[in-house]
Amino acid sequence: MSQLANICLSCGACCANFRVSFHWAETTLATPDGVPQELTETISSHHNCMKGTNQKKPHCIALQGEVGQQVYCTIYNQRSSTCRDFDIVDEQGQINPQCTKARAAYQLLPVVFIQESSIETSIYT
């Protein structure tokens, strides 16, 4: 999985393509180590979202760097459950179609798995 995590560090498309909403109790208003409240906006009586993601062209305020090049989350250890639950692969080990959709929005190729071949080659002299 560490190789997949490295893919995320050169992508970031998910953080700049979807609204990142979650229950308000995940913020520092209710949880000391939660999502910093000042980086969120209220979207309903029970839900907040990351600033920058509730607009036509979302881009999370916590995402730093250039999408498709090199990115990082400034609140990675305090990120919401929405971010923690988003992964390149789903529970069945298949590529997450939402990841593919986000990457396509930035003209990035989809993530694919390539199985290593056990084909041996010989050189005859």
Domain count, the chain: 1
Distance, in Å, from the CA atom of 73 to the CA atom of 71, rounded to the nearest integer, reads 7
pTM: 0.84
Asked whether residue 18 is assigned to any structural domain, the reply reads yes
Asked whether residue 65 is assigned to any structural domain, the reply reads yes
Asked whether residue 61 is assigned to any structural domain, the reply reads yes
- Domain of residue 68: give its range: 2-105
Residues 24-50 pLDDT 10s: 999 999 999 999 999 999 999 999 999
Residues 53-85 pLDDT 10s: 999 999 999 999 999 999 999 999 999 999 999
Question: Residue 77: what pLDDT?
Answer: 98
2 pLDDT higher than 80: no
Asked whether residue 63 is assigned to any structural domain, the reply reads yes
